[in-house]
C-alpha cells in the first residue's frame, strides 16, 4: 500500500515531466526543428487504448474469454482501409481547415449548422459516459493502491480532486491556443510517451504474472483446465456469442475513425498523408502487443483466488498481492496514462465542437452577446471544465449500474451513428444534407430509446413497465425487444436497429430531396478535395489590379478581431498576403480578392469551424458594384470554358452515368447562360429601336430650333426698321397719327413675339 501523498506526488511529477517534454518540443517546432517522421503520429494513435483496454479487457476476458478480441479485430480491419478512408479525410481537412468530426460532416453537407450541432450533441451525450469511465478507473485504482476504499474521503471526494486535476492538465496540454487546427506537436509527443508508458507497464505486469507467479503460458493453460476456468481461453461459450462477436467487430470498425479523439489525432493532427502508411502496420502491431498478456493476467487473477467482480483491476491486484510495490506503482501509472490521454484529447475536441457549433451560433444570433466572441478560448476552458464535471457527475450517479465494459460499448454505439453520413458522404455523390440529417436524427433517437431508456429504468428514474410492456403498452415497442427482436443482448439489439433506421433514412432522404445549386457545388468541391492532387495554398492572378488592398485588409481585420486577438488577426493577415503573393502591393485584382476571401475564411475556420466561418464571411464581407459585375463575368467565362474543354465524349467513356453526373451541372449552367444571353439580345434590339426614335426626335427639335432662331432674327430686323421709320416721321412731324399708332402696335407685337 502507498500513502495518498506518495501517489499524488508521483502523478504530479509524472505529468510535470510530460509537460516539460511538450514544452521542449513546442520550442523546437517554433524554430522549425520539430519531429518530421511518422513515429510520434503513429504512437499517438494508440490513444485508442484507454482504461477499457488497460483494465476492462482483463475483466472482459475473465467473464467472456477471447471475445474481447472482437474490439481489436474490428479496429484492425478499419485501419486496413485507412489508405482509402483516412487519407481522403486528411486531404479534405487541408482544403477546408476541418477542426473536428462535426465540422467534417457538416462541411460535406452544405456547411449545415443544424447537422454540426446535432453531431456535437450526439458526441457529448455519447462520449460523456466514456469520460466518466476513465475518471472512475483513475479514482478506483487510486483507492485500490492507497487503501482508501473505507476512508472518509471515499470515491466522491477523490474523484472530484482527480477531475479538477484533469481540467488543469487538459487546458495545459491541449487548450493553450485558440486554433485547434494548429498542430499540437508538444501534446502529440506527450501523448506518444504516455502510449509507450502504458504499453511498457502492461507488458511488464504480463511478464511478471506469466513467468514469476507462474511458469509460462503452458502452466497457466494447464491450471485453467484443472480448476475449471477454461472459458478464459475459449472463443465462444454463450449461445449468442457469434452475434456479440459480429457486434464488437462492427462497433470497433466504426470507432477507430468515428471517436472524436481518434478523428482529432488521426486527421486534424496529421502533418503528412504519407504517415498513414506507417500507421497501417504500426498501430495493429501495438494492439497485438498490448493484448498479448490480457488472457494470462485474467487467468492469473482467477487461479490465485481473486474475486471475479474485481477482474477489472487484476493488473493492479496481482503485483500488489505479490508484494511488488514498484511494479504496482508502474501499473498504476500505466492505467493513469491510458485514462488521461483519452480524457485530454476527448475533452479538448468536445469543447472545440461545443464552442464552434453550439455556443458561437447562439452568440451570432444575439447582438447583445457580441462582446463574448474575443473570449472564445476562455469559453472553451469553461466548457472543458463543465464536460469533465458532468462526466464526474455521471460516474457518481451510475457508479453501481454498469461494469467497465458496458459504458464503453454504449459510447461505441453512439459514435457508430456517424458512419452512414461520414462514409456515405465520402463515397456516394447522391448523399445530401436532408439524408444526413434524417439518418443522424433517427439513429440518435433509436440509440437513446434502446440503450439510455433501459439504463434510466434500471437506475429507477423511469417506470419499469416501459421495459416490460413497451411504450404506451405496445409490446412491440419494448426498448430491448423492438418488434419482438430479442434474446440477442441489449448492445447487438441496439446496433441492429440504430444502423437499420440510420442507413434507411439516409438513403431515402438523399434520394427524395433534390439539393439546391449551392449544396451541389460544395459537394462537388468537397469530393474533389479528397483526391490526392497537389493543392496550392494560393493562386495568384495577373488580371487588372484596381481594388485597394488596404481597404480589404481593414475589412478583414475587423472581421478577425471579432473572434481573435489583435496580434493573432494581424499575424493571420500577414500570412494570407504572403501566401497570395501580394505583400507590399497597393491594389489587387478581382481573382486575387476572391482568393483573399477564401483564405480569410480558411483561417477563420481553424478557430470557429468551417460552417461558422463561412457564415461569418458571408455576413461581413461585401463586394461593390464593379467587383460584383466582374465576378459574374468571370463566372460566366469559366462556365463557358469548362463546357468547351470538358466534353462528355472525351472523358468517362467507360461510365456514361458518371459522365452525366460530372457534366450535368455545367450543362445546366450553360443553358441558363444561353437563356440570359437571348434575353439580353432582345433588350439590345429594343434599345436600338428606342435610340432610333430618340435620334429622330433630336433632329426634329434641332430643325425647330433653327426655324425659331431664323424667325426671331427676322422679327428683330423688322422691329429695327419700324423704329427707324417712326423716329423719322416724328422728327419731320408729317406722319399720320393713325399710321404712327399702327406702327407702334406692330412694334409691340414684335416685342411680344
pLDDT at 438: 94
Q: Which of 24-33, 302-311, 433-442 has the lowest mean pLDDT?
A: 24-33
Q: Are 326 and 145 in contact (CB under 8 A)?
A: no
For 5-64, write each residue's pLDDT tens digit.
Answer: 888 888 889 988 988 888 888 888 777 666 667 899 999 999 999 888 888 889 888 888
Q: Which of 106-115, 149-158, 689-698 has the lowest mean pLDDT?
A: 149-158
pLDDT at 416: 93
pLDDT at 643: 54
DSSP code for 233: G
What gap in Å lies between CA 159 and CA 143, rounded to an integer?
A: 10
Phi-psi region of 484 (alpha: psi -120 to 50; beta: other; left: phi over 0): left
**Mean pLDDT of the chain, nearest integer:** 81
pLDDT at 98: 87
For 472-497, write each residue's pLDDT tens digit.
Answer: 777 788 887 788 777 777 888 899 99
**DSSP-derived secondary structure for 454-497:** HHHHHTTSS-THHHHH-GGG-TTEETTEETT--SS-HHHHHHHH
DSSP code for 264: I
Q: Is the pLDDT of residue 279 over 90?
A: yes
Instruction: Determine what percent of the chain is predicted with pLDDT higher than 90.
Output: 24
Work out the angle at residue 178's Cα, subtended by the Cα atoms of residues 176 and 181, and round it to the nearest 5 degrees.
105
pLDDT at 414: 92
pLDDT at 404: 43
For 240-260, write each residue's pLDDT tens digit.
Answer: 678 888 999 999 999 998 999
Q: How many CB atoms lie within 10 A of CB 405?
A: 21
pLDDT bin (cut points 50, 70, 90) of residue 536 is very low
For 118-128, write each residue's pLDDT tens digit.
Answer: 999 999 998 88
DSSP code for 542: -
For 372-412, write each residue's pLDDT tens digit.
Answer: 877 888 888 899 899 998 888 887 776 654 444 467 788 88
Instruction: Determine what percent of the chain is predicted with pLDDT higher than 70.
Output: 83
**Sequence spans of domains, the chain:** 4-26+37-199+227-291+334-393, 433-514, 536-622, 656-752
Q: Is the pLDDT of residue 289 over 90?
A: yes
| Beta partners for residue 477, in sequence order | 482
pLDDT at 537: 47
What gap in Å lies between CA 356 and CA 376, rounded to an integer?
A: 9
pLDDT bin (cut points 50, 70, 90) of residue 239 is low
Q: Are 404 and 64 in contact (CB under 8 A)?
A: no
Across the range 166-171, mean pLDDT stands at 83
Backbone angles phi, psi at 408, to 5 degrees: -60, -40
Q: Is the pLDDT of residue 464 over 50?
A: yes
What gap in Å lies between CA 550 and CA 725, rounded to an integer?
A: 78
Q: Is the pLDDT of residue 752 over 70?
A: no
Q: Which of 194-203, 500-509, 589-598, 666-675 has the lowest mean pLDDT?
A: 666-675
pLDDT at 753: 59
DSSP code for 472: G
Q: Is the pLDDT of residue 203 over 70?
A: yes
What gap in Å lies between CA 690 and CA 679, rounded to an integer?
A: 17
What gap in Å lies between CA 417 and CA 245, rounded to an integer?
A: 19
Q: Which helix (H) or strand (E) holds 323?
A: none
Amino acid at each position: 500500500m502507498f500513502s495518498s501523498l506518495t501517489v499524488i506526488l508521483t502523478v504530479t511529477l509524472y505529468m510535470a515531466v510530460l509537460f516539460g517534454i511538450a514544452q521542449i518540443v513546442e520550442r523546437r517546432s517554433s524554430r522549425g526543428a520539430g519531429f518530421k517522421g511518422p513515429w510520434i503520429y503513429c504512437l499517438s494513435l494508440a490513444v485508442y487504448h484507454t482504461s477499457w483496454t488497460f483494465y476492462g479487457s482483463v475483466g472482459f476476458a475473465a467473464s467472456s474469454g477471447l471475445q474481447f478480441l472482437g474490439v481489436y479485430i474490428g479496429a484492425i480491419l478499419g485501419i486496413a482501409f485507412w489508405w482509402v478512408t483516412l487519407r481522403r479525410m486528411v486531404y479534405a481537412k487541408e482544403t477546408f481547415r476541418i477542426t473536428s468530426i462535426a465540422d467534417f460532416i457538416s462541411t460535406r453537407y452544405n456547411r449545415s449548422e443544424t447537422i454540426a450541432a446535432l453531431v456535437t450533441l450526439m458526441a457529448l451525450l455519447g462520449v460523456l459516459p466514456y469520460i466518466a469511465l476513465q475518471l472512475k478507473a483513475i479514482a478506483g485504482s487510486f483507492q485500490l493502491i492507497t487503501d482508501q476504499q473505507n476512508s472518509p474521503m471515499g470515491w466522491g471526494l477523490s474523484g472530484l480532486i482527480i477531475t479538477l486535476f484533469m481540467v488543469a492538465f487538459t487546458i495545459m496540454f491541449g487548450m493553450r491556443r485558440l486554433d485547434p487546427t494548429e498542430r499540437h506537436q508538444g501534446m502529440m509527443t506527450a501523448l506518444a510517451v504516455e502510449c509507450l508508458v502504458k504499453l511498457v507497464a502492461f507488458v511488464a505486469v504480463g511478464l511478471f504474472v506469466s513467468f514469476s507467479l507462474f511458469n509460462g503460458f503452458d502452466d497457466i493453460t494447464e491450471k485453467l483446465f484443472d480448476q475449471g476456468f477454461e472459458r478464459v481461453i475459449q472463443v465462444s461459450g454463450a449461445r449468442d456469442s457469434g452475434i456479440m462477436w459480429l457486434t464488437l467487430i462492427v462497433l470497433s470498425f466504426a470507432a477507430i475513425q468515428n471517436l472524436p479523439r481518434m478523428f482529432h489525432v488521426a486527421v486534424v493532427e496529421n502533418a503528412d498523408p504519407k504517415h498513414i502508411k506507417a500507421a497501417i502496420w504500426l498501430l495493429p502491431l501495438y494492439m497485438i502487443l498490448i493484448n498479448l498478456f490480457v488472457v494470462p493476467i485474467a487467468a492469473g487473477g482467477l487461479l490465485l483466488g481473486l474475486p471475479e467482480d474485481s477482474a477489472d483491476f487484476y493488473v493492479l491486484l496481482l503485483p500488489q498481492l505479490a508484494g511488488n510495490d514498484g511494479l504496482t506503482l508502474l501499473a498504476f501509472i500505466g492505467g493513469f496514462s491510458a485514462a488521461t490521454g483519452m480524457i485530454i484529447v476527448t475533452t479538448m475536441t468536445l469543447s472545440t465542437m461545443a464552442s464552434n457549433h453550439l455556443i458561437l451560433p447562439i452568440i451570432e444570433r444575439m447582438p447583445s452577446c457580441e462582446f463574448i466572441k474575443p473570449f472564445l478560448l476562455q469559453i472553451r476552458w469553461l466548457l472543458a471544465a463543465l464536460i469533465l464535471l458532468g462526466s464526474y457527475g455521471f460516474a457518481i450517479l451510475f457508479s453501481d449500474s454498469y461494469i467497465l465494459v458496458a459504458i464503453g460499448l454504449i459510447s461505441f454505439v453512439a459514435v457508430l451513428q456517424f458512419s452512414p453520413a461520414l462514409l456515405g458522404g465520402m463515397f456516394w455523390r447522391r448523399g445530401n444534407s436532408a439524408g444526413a440529417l434524417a439518418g443522424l436524427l433517427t439513429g440518435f433517437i433509436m440509440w437513446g430509446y434502446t440503450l439510455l431508456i433501459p439504463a434510466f429504468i434500471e437506475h429507477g428514474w423511469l417506470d419499469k413497465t416501459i421495459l416490460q410492456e413497451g411504450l404506451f403498452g405496445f409490446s412491440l415497442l419494448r426498448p430491448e425487444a423492438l418488434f419482438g427482436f430479442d434474446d440477442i443482448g441489449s448492445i447487438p439489439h441496439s446496433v441492429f436497429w440504430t444502423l437499420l433506421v440510420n442507413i434507411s433514412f439516409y438513403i431515402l432522404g438523399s434520394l427524395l430531396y433534390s439539393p439546391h445549386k449551392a449544396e451541389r457545388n460544395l459537394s462537388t468541391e468537397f469530393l474533389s478535395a479528397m483526391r490526392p492532387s497537389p493543392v496550392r495554398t494560393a493562386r495568384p492572378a495577373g488580371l487588372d489590379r484596381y481594388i485597394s488592398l488596404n481597404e480589404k485588409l481593414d475589412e478583414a481585420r475587423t472581421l478577425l478581431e471579432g473572434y481573435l486577438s489583435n496580434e493573432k488577426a494581424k499575424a493571420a493577415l500577414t500570412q494570407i498576403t504572403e501566401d497570395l503573393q501580394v505583400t507590399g502591393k497597393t491594389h489587387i485584382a478581382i481573382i486575387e480578392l476572391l482568393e483573399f476571401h477564401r483564405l480569410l475564411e480558411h483561417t477563420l475556420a481553424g478557430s470557429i469551424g468551417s460552417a461558422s466561418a463561412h457564415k461569418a464571411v458571408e455576413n461581413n464581407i461585401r463586394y461593390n458594384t464593379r467587383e460584383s459585375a466582374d465576378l459574374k463575368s468571370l463566372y460566366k467565362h469559366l462556365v463557358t470554358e469548362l463546357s468547351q474543354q470538358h466534353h462528355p465524349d472525351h472523358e468517362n467513356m467507360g461510365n456514361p452515368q458518371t459522365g452525366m453526373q460530372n457534366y450535368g451541372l455545367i450543362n445546366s449552367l450553360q443553358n441558363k447562360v444561353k437563356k440570359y444571353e437571348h434575353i439580353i439580345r432582345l433588350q439590345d434590339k429594343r434599345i436600338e429601336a428606342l435610340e432610333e426614335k430618340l435620334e429622330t426626335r433630336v433632329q426634329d427639335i434641332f430643325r425647330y430650333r433653327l426655324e425659331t432662331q431664323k424667325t426671331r432674327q427676322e422679327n428683330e430686323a423688322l422691329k429695327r426698321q419700324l423704329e427707324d421709320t417712326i423716329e423719322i416721321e416724328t422728327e419731320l412731324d408729317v406722319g399720320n397719327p393713325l399710321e404712327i399708332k399702327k406702327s407702334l402696335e406692330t412694334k409691340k407685337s414684335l416685342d411680344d413675339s
